[in-house]
Amino acid sequence: MTLHGLRGLAKHCKALEDLTVTFDASTVPPLNHPETRISQTSLFRLHVGAGAITDPTAVARFISDLFPNLAEISTDWDGTTDLGKAWVQVGAMLSNVTSPSVHQ
Protein backbone atom coordinates (compact mmCIF):
# COMPACT_ATOMS: atom_id res chain seq x y z
CA MET A 1 0.00 0.00 0.00
CA THR A 2 1.12 3.57 -0.60
CA LEU A 3 0.35 6.70 1.39
CA HIS A 4 -2.22 7.53 -1.27
CA GLY A 5 -4.04 4.33 -0.26
CA LEU A 6 -4.49 5.77 3.23
CA ARG A 7 -6.79 8.39 1.68
CA GLY A 8 -9.23 5.65 0.69
CA LEU A 9 -9.20 4.24 4.21
CA ALA A 10 -9.73 7.71 5.68
CA LYS A 11 -12.63 8.36 3.32
CA HIS A 12 -14.43 5.02 3.57
CA CYS A 13 -13.57 3.77 7.08
CA LYS A 14 -14.80 6.59 9.31
CA ALA A 15 -15.04 4.38 12.42
CA LEU A 16 -11.53 2.89 12.08
CA GLU A 17 -9.66 3.40 15.36
CA ASP A 18 -6.61 1.15 15.12
CA LEU A 19 -4.75 0.28 11.90
CA THR A 20 -1.84 -2.04 11.25
CA VAL A 21 -0.52 -1.88 7.69
CA THR A 22 2.91 -1.85 6.12
CA PHE A 23 3.03 0.80 3.43
CA ASP A 24 5.51 2.55 1.21
CA ALA A 25 5.96 6.12 2.42
CA SER A 26 8.90 6.82 0.12
CA THR A 27 6.66 8.90 -2.17
CA VAL A 28 4.35 11.40 -0.51
CA PRO A 29 1.30 12.59 -2.47
CA PRO A 30 0.24 16.23 -2.33
CA LEU A 31 -1.75 17.29 0.71
CA ASN A 32 -5.52 17.39 0.49
CA HIS A 33 -6.93 20.46 -1.20
CA PRO A 34 -9.05 22.39 1.35
CA GLU A 35 -12.17 22.05 -0.80
CA THR A 36 -11.83 18.25 -1.10
CA ARG A 37 -10.14 17.56 2.23
CA ILE A 38 -10.53 14.09 3.68
CA SER A 39 -10.22 13.92 7.45
CA GLN A 40 -10.83 10.82 9.54
CA THR A 41 -11.00 11.67 13.23
CA SER A 42 -11.47 8.20 14.79
CA LEU A 43 -8.02 6.73 14.13
CA PHE A 44 -5.89 6.96 17.25
CA ARG A 45 -3.29 4.23 16.67
CA LEU A 46 -1.28 3.45 13.52
CA HIS A 47 1.24 0.62 13.26
CA VAL A 48 3.36 1.01 10.12
CA GLY A 49 5.17 -2.32 10.30
CA ALA A 50 8.44 -2.23 8.38
CA GLY A 51 7.30 0.57 6.08
CA ALA A 52 9.75 2.47 3.90
CA ILE A 53 10.11 6.22 4.42
CA THR A 54 12.37 8.90 2.93
CA ASP A 55 10.99 12.29 4.07
CA PRO A 56 9.70 12.24 7.66
CA THR A 57 8.50 15.86 7.53
CA ALA A 58 6.35 15.32 4.44
CA VAL A 59 5.00 12.04 5.82
CA ALA A 60 4.08 13.69 9.14
CA ARG A 61 2.24 16.49 7.32
CA PHE A 62 0.36 14.01 5.14
CA ILE A 63 -0.64 11.70 8.00
CA SER A 64 -1.66 14.52 10.34
CA ASP A 65 -3.79 16.04 7.58
CA LEU A 66 -5.68 12.75 7.10
CA PHE A 67 -5.79 11.65 10.75
CA PRO A 68 -5.75 14.74 12.97
CA ASN A 69 -6.49 12.78 16.18
CA LEU A 70 -3.77 10.17 15.74
CA ALA A 71 -2.31 9.47 19.17
CA GLU A 72 0.24 6.71 18.56
CA ILE A 73 2.51 5.47 15.77
CA SER A 74 4.45 2.25 16.09
CA THR A 75 6.91 0.50 13.79
CA ASP A 76 8.73 -2.80 13.51
CA TRP A 77 11.98 -0.96 12.76
CA ASP A 78 14.55 -0.72 15.51
CA GLY A 79 14.99 2.88 16.65
CA THR A 80 18.69 2.68 15.84
CA THR A 81 18.17 2.04 12.12
CA ASP A 82 17.73 4.89 9.64
CA LEU A 83 14.14 3.85 8.90
CA GLY A 84 13.36 3.46 12.59
CA LYS A 85 14.77 6.91 13.30
CA ALA A 86 12.71 8.36 10.44
CA TRP A 87 9.46 6.97 11.91
CA VAL A 88 10.44 8.30 15.35
CA GLN A 89 10.86 11.73 13.69
CA VAL A 90 7.36 11.44 12.22
CA GLY A 91 5.95 10.76 15.68
CA ALA A 92 7.87 13.66 17.18
CA MET A 93 6.56 16.04 14.52
CA LEU A 94 3.01 14.80 15.01
CA SER A 95 3.35 15.28 18.76
CA ASN A 96 3.37 19.03 18.16
CA VAL A 97 -0.18 18.66 16.89
CA THR A 98 -1.74 15.67 18.68
CA SER A 99 0.81 14.50 21.30
CA PRO A 100 1.20 10.94 19.93
CA SER A 101 4.01 8.61 20.81
CA VAL A 102 6.14 6.35 18.65
CA HIS A 103 7.04 2.85 19.73
CA GLN A 104 9.39 0.33 18.18
Q: How many CB atoms lie within 10 A of CB 14?
A: 12
Digit-coded pLDDT (tens) for 47-91: 999 999 999 999 999 999 999 999 899 999 988 899 999 999 998
Looking at residue 35, its pLDDT comes to 66
Digit-coded pLDDT (tens) for 32-54: 666 678 899 999 999 999 999 99
Asked whether residue 102 carries a pLDDT value surpassing 70, the answer given is no
Q: Indicate whether 13 belongs to any domain.
A: yes
Q: Minimal CA–CA distance to 18: which of 80, 52, 67, 76?
A: 67
As a whole number of angstroms, the distance between CA 10 and CA 92 comes to: 22
Q: Indicate whether 73 belongs to any domain.
A: yes
Q: Indicate whether 95 belongs to any domain.
A: yes
Q: Indicate whether 14 belongs to any domain.
A: yes
> What's the domain count of the chain?
1
As a whole number of angstroms, the distance between CA 46 and CA 32 comes to: 20
Rounded to two decimals, what is the model's pTM?
A: 0.85
